[in-house]
Structure 1
Amino acid sequence: QKPSEKAQAQAILAAASENPSLLEPARNYLRSLIDRVASSGVKSDLAKVVFLATEGLQLLELVDLIRLEPAERQRIQSCLTQLAQEIQS
């Protein structure tokens, strides 16, 4: 993420901590994505794992709980991409 995107996402999370109802549209959006994955006909549980791992990695980086070197992040992303491709085949 670009620093400006990270700052914007952190501001949204801070605002949501004051008013959790602000997260409702995001919850609805994510639920619809997960439902779409589940009904896609692919191995839905594995697809959910890849999706949630990707989102979790982004969140951990966003809140600065994990700092990965660019090469390490690229390797992880490559693994997730490979898993996603295997799920589709």
Structure 2
Amino acid sequence: MLIKRMTVQLSGELLARHTALFVRQACSFQSDIFLAKDGKCVSGKSIMKVMALAVKKGDEITLLTNGVDEHAAACTLEEFLLTKQR
């Protein structure tokens, strides 16, 4: 299991468009993927659960990946969360 703590750099919140893109990327991996914020941990492959976290720029989150492609998943999703997207 890989655990990465980071400060989100997305412009705006991880809602709607950004969440859909994040979940699409997460679902492309076989590994289990979780996001944790403020004591809540949810599946990174569930659009509704990720939206419920209401992640926004500057929030401290933890990305957890576990499985056969956990390294690739962690790198890809970390890059997504740390990139200022429009």
Q: TM-score, normalised by structure 2?
A: 0.29
Which has the higher Rg, Structure 1 or Structure 2?
A: 1
Q: TM-score, normalised by structure 1?
A: 0.28
